[in-house]
Homo-oligomer: A and B are copies of this chain.
Amino acid sequence: MSIQDAIAEITLILGQRLTTSKSDLDLHGRSETYFAACPPDAIAYPDSTDEVSQIVKICAAHNCPVIGWGTGTSLEGQSLAVHGGICVDFSRMNRIIAVHHADMDAIVQPGVTREALNLDLRATGLFFPVDPGANASLGGMASTRASGTTAVRYGTMRGNVIGLTVVLASGEIIHTGTRARKSSAGYDLTSLFVGAEGTLGLICELTLRLHGQPESTTAAICAFDTIDAAVACVIDTIQIGIPMARIEFVDAATVAAVNAYSGSDMSERPHLMVEFHGSETAVAEQAENFGEIVTDHEGHGFEWAANSEDRTALWAMRHSAYWAILAARPGTTALVTDICVPISRLADAVNAVRADLADAGVAGPILGHVGDGNFHSILLFDPDNAQELETVKDLSNRMVERALEMGGTVSGEHGIGLGKLGYMEREHGGAWAVMGALKTALDPQNIMNPGKLVPPGN
């Protein structure tokens, strides 16, 4: 079998760093959500770009699928080996190669996690802002074009990756971008590989844009009587130009779950959680202006978290919401939706989801990055109950269809993987075939994460 031949040849290079142990295969065959396990045939742990190149060359010679693996925290089954093959686990390629202070960039290997990078940067006055919640690997975050709570201010991985080293399907190593802040020298290959979910090549090195740690930070939380009021407050805040660093929405059901999980006693209404970054004066002014907008929309229960401990507690609460929601109904798992709509349609979209949930009798607390128009509903279901899975899939389907009708996207930040593949044609129309043509041009044998992202047959 060709995959077995590939495994044998790769073993000659990696020795014990190529494994077929059942426990490791199982670990790399699982995803964070509801997809059926789908283990690869072997896992490779390369130490260098050159080793990745050799692995891919061998796979190309044997027509063997190659799937990248960061921390396994993707939410749409991106790293599931649906056609078997070699899983390339980047955990050993976790070196911060360089930090350029004056240029405010860093060069890292793909296995570096965002927390590891920020820990390393702590004393430099710089930080890497993209924060999807999970302590994901930077290679994985680039591959799924991740974002999170800070995208409203600092952008997504699209804007924060300025260059890449990529191993192509042939095993060839290429470099995209330079260390210059901008360039108009040809096709933007960096942007093409960011979000490609490993279907065009494996990211082996990233040049990332860093930002200055803010002189001052303050955060706040406040409640609203309706979702419409909370969203109107967000729109006004953006329009008036207050540069929020984060602006997060949680609905009443999320608050209830968090209260139960953390023992907090927030009022069970829709809330906004915000953070401001800047000079002391700027942050104070932003906070004051925001407070006025909140009052205009009859927000209440305003609480500031100016000191670092209160702020950590506030964002820990936000980041624990997923686990709090899961804990609200023990034994369940979740389908996490991820639509993003023009912000003018956000209240409509959230309200429609709530109506759907009520009709279906499903618990689906809603939270999201409302400054971007991006929100998630955590649809709980019993994994042993096929009927429940069908019901939540149907709900998710309706949300996605509605997002498209509203001019939005089927995936704000989680990517496509297996969960959203069925919507690609609906969102992109003829442009999906263009993606297929690009895939065929760069990976004619279809060995790079096959079965993902592009039309079947490409």
Which residues of chain A have a CB within 8 Å of any CB of chain B?
A: 100-105, 125, 144-147, 151, 155-156, 158-159, 168, 172-176, 178-189, 191-192, 194-196, 200, 212, 214-215, 235, 238-241, 278-279, 281-282, 285, 289, 340-344, 372-374, 403-404, 407-416, 420, 423-424, 427-432, 434-435, 437-438, 440-442, 453-454
Q: Tell me whether A174 and B412 are in contact (CB under 8 A).
A: no
**CB neighbours of A373 from chain B (8 A):** 103, 180-181
Tell which of B105, B151, B429 touches A175, judged by Cβ atoms closer than 8 Å.
B429
**A435 and B189 within 8 A (CB):** yes
Q: Contacts A173-B430, A438-B441 given; indicate if A184 touches B146 (C-beta within 8 A).
A: yes
CA distance A279 to B278 in the complex (A): 13
Counted per complex, copies of this chain come to 2
When distances are taken between beta carbons in the complex, the residues of chain B under 8 Å from A438 are 187, 192, 438, 441-442
Once bound together, how far apart are the Cα atoms of A159 and B102, in whole Å?
A: 23
Cβ 8 A contact of A342, one of B100, B407, B415, B423: B100
Cα distance A160–B423 in the bound complex, in angstroms: 26
Chain B's closest residue to A284 (CB) is B281
Asked if residues B281 and A151 are in contact (CB atoms below 8 Å), the reply is no
Output the nearest chain B residue to A432 by Cβ-Cβ distance. B186
> In the bound complex, do residue A186 and residue B102 qualify as a contact, i.e. CB atoms below 8 Å apart?
no
Name A409's contact: one of B101, B185, B403, B437 (CB within 8 Å): B185
Asked whether A407 lies within 8 Å of B180 as measured between CB atoms, the reply is yes
| A179–B278 alpha-carbon span in the complex (Å) | 29
Check B424–A186 contact: CB distance below 8 A.
yes
A123 to chain B minimum Cβ distance, whole angstroms, is: 14
Quick one: closest B residue to A194, CB to CB? B188
